[in-house]
Structure 1
Amino acid sequence: MTNIAVIGGGQIGEALVSGLVAANTNPLNIRVTNRNEERGKELHKRYGIVNLTDNAQAVDEADVVFLCVKPKGILDVISEITATLDNNSAQSVIVSMAAGISIGAMEENASAGLPVVRVMPNTPMLVRKGMSTVTPGRHVSKEQLEQVKELLGTVGHVVEVAESDLDAVTAMSGSSPAYLFLVTEALIDAGVNLGLSRATAKELAVAAFEGAATMMQETGTEPAVLRAGVSSPAGTTVAAIRELEESGLRGAFYRAAQKCAERSAELGKQ
């Protein structure tokens, strides 16, 4: 039996809870804290979890503590719960789901030797299609890391990465669903401009992106090869691809990823 505390029942916190419950984790072993009591009651009604407002109470005898709060709140929460974690009968592991806050900074705010894992999740966790990276601190045991990976695996894929790569990971995984949403939104608008109803344009765009993503994942074929397979010589797709390239789409993604990584690094320094 694994006791789990989820500090913060927002979008990421709920996505995690949803996956855990769907994977047959006993909801009575999941404690979720919220500053908003109504939000806590809502999650209790939806998933059957233990609803609390006191973070220290939530982590009492917890095996794994997921911190699903904004980056600016991570260190304060760790300071708030450290005394309780020190008194637990078995050593707990802290899992930060926030961007920018380094393992070193978290370890400095915790008691000496407290295991800390840094995770970069993304919002498709909500539909159990998330991509989470894990980076263990120096005090995390192999068993604790595997436990964290197993829990995160209930909401999608899990990959272990070095902390030095996390700013790039933020750009490539943590923030990238927003890029795709933006591209999808633009394509829908383009369909409306061509005379389609918005509902039809949305159905076509979303289904096309879902199918394309599944092809890349299930075939393992390089995206460039799959793109070439759709691009007949002098055909309609080639005409569209040329326009996108001449409009600087590729360069825009380079710059966007760079800006995202730089912002992640700035958050860490703050």
Structure 2
Amino acid sequence: MSTDAPDLSGFTGTVTFLGAGNMGGAVLGRLLAAGLPPEHARVTDLADRTRARWEEQGVSTGTDNPEAVRGASVVVLAVKPYLVADVLDEIADELGGDSIVVSLAAGVTLATLESHAGDGVPVVRVMPNTPALVGEGMFVVTAGRDCTAEQLEVVDTLLRACGQTEVVPESQQNAASGLSGSGPAYIFYVADALAEGGVHEGLPRDLAVRLAAQTILGAARMLVESDEPASTLREQVTSPGGSTAVALRLLDEGAVRYRMSAAVSAATRRAGELGA
């Protein structure tokens, strides 16, 4: 896993984003914040408001996908999964061995990317998540057969401007989607429930929200920085017969642990369906 944030001010290639909605926009915003020169970025999007946002930052925009990818060193597909094949068919004539195609679309396989991008075009399948907005994204990466180690390193460098990266075999991609891709929604769900509990017990809502958010942030930092597994860290907080023990017993009676695990499995299956 790569952890160091790069300085992109010296990046000499051109990065084209086909689509700049929530995920594509988050990644592009972090690239610019990491120093990517705006003149080295291009965006195509059908929404006037989206294009205006990037034009204000000096990024070239438009609606013509083939024109936008012409000469680009990295092409980021940030469109809905069902649009990926059509978009690749549209731009295939402009791609070559020097253009790295990076897909952020859940479930879309390397086989699909390679068959529509064309022979010899290097492709990389990536499962991102929304904390990329604040530079704490998790990007699970799989390179296609024509992607060299040097080209994969280019992609890794760009993504590290937005968070952390992990390279995995493609067989693990859908599970990564179910866990880290959908995972922020699970945490927001928990945060909302914690805050609601605090309000029920008399805390002002704004205070309850802050307590829940900081508690989750602090616990996550402990997980990242500690060598101990989550189960051990949980035990360290749980005194025998104490309030935490009572709370955890209630969660176990409600099968919350099982339901969280089952949620990851359900999201994993759905990621595979989206790719199909």
TM-score range, shorter chain: over 0.9
1:181 is displaced (CA, Å) by: 0.5
Does 1:258 pair with 2:230?
Answer: no
Moved more, 64-73 or 105-114: 105-114
**2:5 alignment partner in structure 1:** none
Does 1:26 pair with 2:37?
Answer: yes
**1:38 alignment partner in structure 2:** 49
**1:107 alignment partner in structure 2:** 114
**1:238 alignment partner in structure 2:** 245
**2:216 alignment partner in structure 1:** 209
Aligned length: 265
Aligned partners of 2:184, 2:274: CA distance in 1, in Å? 20
1:135 counterpart letter in structure 2? T
* Ranges of 4+ aligned residues in structure 1 off by more than 4 Å: none
1:156 counterpart letter in structure 2? G
Q: What whole-Å deviation, never above 9, does each CA across 1:131-163 have from its counterpart, x for those lacking one? A: 001100100011100000000000000000111
Contact 1:37–1:53 (CA<8 Å) still a contact in 2? no
Aligned partners of 1:217, 1:85: CA distance in 2, in Å? 39
Aligned partners of 2:150, 2:261: CA distance in 1, in Å? 38
Unaligned runs of 5+ residues in structure 1 are: none
1:242 is displaced (CA, Å) by: 0.7
Q: Alignment partner for residue 178 of structure 2, among 156, 171, 179?
A: 171
- Which of the pair has the greater relative contact order for Cα pairs under 8 Å at 6+ separation? 2
1:111 is displaced (CA, Å) by: 1.6
Q: What whole-Å deviation, never above 9, does each CA across 1:213-239 have from its counterpart, x for those lacking one? A: 011111232111111111111111111
Name the SS for the 1:119 alignment partner.
strand
Aligned partners of 1:20, 1:5: CA distance in 2, in Å? 12
**1:162 alignment partner in structure 2:** 169
Aligned partners of 1:41, 1:57: CA distance in 2, in Å? 18
Name the SS for the 1:210 alignment partner.
helix
Which structure dedicates a bigger proportion of its chain to helix? 1
Name the SS for the 1:154 alignment partner.
coil
TM-score by length of 1: 0.96
Q: Alignment partner for residue 14 of structure 1, among 21, 25, 36?
A: 25
Q: Percent identical across equivalent pairs?
A: 41
2:22 counterpart letter in structure 1? Q
Unaligned runs of 5+ residues in structure 2 are: 1-11
Pairing of 1:43-122 with structure 2 (within 5 A): 43-45=54-56, 47-86=57-96, 91-122=98-129
Contact 2:95–2:117 (CA<8 Å) still a contact in 1? no
**2:136 alignment partner in structure 1:** 129
Aligned partners of 2:203, 2:215: CA distance in 1, in Å? 16
Aligned partners of 2:69, 2:227: CA distance in 1, in Å? 41
Moved more, 188-197 or 178-187: 188-197
Aligned partners of 1:168, 1:230: CA distance in 2, in Å? 29
Name the SS for the 1:253 alignment partner.
helix
1:38 is displaced (CA, Å) by: 2.1
Aligned partners of 1:64, 1:268: CA distance in 2, in Å? 22
